[in-house]
Amino acid sequence: MGERLDIQKTYKLFIGGAFPRSESGRTTEVVAADGSFVANVAKASRKDLRDAVKAARGAQSDWAGRTAYNRGQILYRMAEVMEGRRSQFEVELVTCGSSAADAAAELDEAIDLWVWYAGWCDKFQQVVGTVNPVAGPFFNFTVPEPTGVVGVVAPEQPSLAGLIARLAPVLVSGNTAVVIPSEVAPLSAISLSETIATSDVPGGVINMLTGPKLDLLPWLLGHLDVNAVDLTGAPTDLDPAVLDEAVGNVKRVIRRDPADRGPYAITDFCEMKTIWHPIGR
């Protein structure tokens, strides 16, 4: 008997619940902290981005139409399934340069973030929604609604906890997401896609595009069917001309400290709807 051959994983994109390679056929090399080769990761093109936005748009009304309670259940399920695979995530974080202790701590935080935002699903409306006093015979109230399809540019580090810190609040209100994960450490984001695919998250709600952020950003910001973009993980010295791309459809552009948690990270991606309901007889 010879020695058993290694089975290497092909790190692919995640679009509409499926794992396609990039339509361009291109890949990028991911190297470990010591410079050694780790894996070839699919390099998403603008057409992959177009497909991902289409998938996200297709999934949005169903995701927003579910009960807040059900969305909470599904986000909690993400935590459960990640917990069962934490050793794989830890190995990948260590491969990309974390110490074992840091990786374990990051996993704790990443999983807890799902639980934290799962809880917010059916509660944030009560915190940010209002009943407004008006000078007339109307019951006037304001409720948050999801803005639609959101592009999430995840922070480079921490690659896993940072991504979830930005992705989870987008999902809470019923948005769907196109995520561009960390370029230097994309492995755990791809494994996260596998977790998403097995956690009752409907196909298309989360789409993951590994690739150079600067290649994809102009297309994401210029895409008229994307309602908001989270640039938390984008370079701070982004060319203003690229940012101007977002103006075309009055896209909401958000940048936040990845450590920010809470209802305002959720309402960043909400539209507030005010209803005037006649009362009296």
Partner 1 sequence: MTSELDPIASPSGFTPRSTGGIGLWVTPVDEVAIEARARTFTTRSIKKTSKRAALELAISCIDLTTLEGMDTPGRVSALCRKAITPDPADPSLPSTAAVCVYPSMVPSAAAFTAGSSVRVASVAGAFPSGMSSLEVRLADIRDAVAAGADEIDIVIGRGDFFTGRYGRVFDDIVAAKEACGPAHLKVILETGELGTYDQIRRASMLAMAAGADFIKTSTGKVARNATMPIALCMAEAIRDYVEQTGEIVGLKVAGGIRTAKQAWHYLVLINETLGPDWLTPDRFRIGASSLLNDALLAIRKLDTGRYSGPDYVSID
| Binding stretches for partner 1 (CB under 8 A) | 49-50, 53, 57, 219, 222-225, 245, 248
Q: What is the CA radius of gyration of the chain?
A: 20
Nearer to partner 1, 28 or 249 (CB): 249
DSSP secondary structure, 6-37, as one string: P-PPPB--BBTTB-PPPTT--EEEEE-TTS-E
Nearer to partner 1, 48 or 230 (CB): 48
Q: Which two tokens stand for residue 127?
A: 């915190």
User: 3-state class of 218 per DSSP?
Assistant: helix
Nearer to partner 1, 156 or 271 (CB): 271
User: 3-state class of 214 per DSSP?
Assistant: helix
Q: Are 214 and 235 in contact (CB under 8 A)?
A: yes
User: Least distance from C-beta 170 to partner 1, angstroms?
Assistant: 18
Nearer to partner 1, 57 or 66 (CB): 57
User: Least distance from C-beta 250 to partner 1, angstroms?
Assistant: 12
Nearer to partner 1, 53 or 201 (CB): 53
Nearer to partner 1, 111 or 226 (CB): 226
User: Least distance from C-beta 221 to partner 1, angstroms?
Assistant: 9
Which of 228, 5, 264 is closest to 120 using CA atoms? 264
User: Least distance from C-beta 20 to partner 1, angstroms?
Assistant: 16
Please report, as a single letter, which amino acid is at residue 202.
P
d(CA 37, CA 54): 34
Nearer to partner 1, 199 or 227 (CB): 227
d(CA 160, CA 8): 21
Q: Give, for 278, the enclosing helix (H) or strand (E).
A: strand 270-278
User: Least distance from C-beta 49 to partner 1, angstroms?
Assistant: 8
**Residues forming beta bridges with residue 207, ordered by sequence position:** 178
Angstrom CA distances, 5 to 38, 126, 241, stand at 16, 56, 49
User: Least distance from C-beta 24 to partner 1, angstroms?
Assistant: 13
Q: Give, for 200, the enclosing helix (H) or strand (E).
A: none
Q: Which two tokens stand for residue 177?
A: 């997401």
User: Least distance from C-beta 28 to partner 1, angstroms?
Assistant: 23
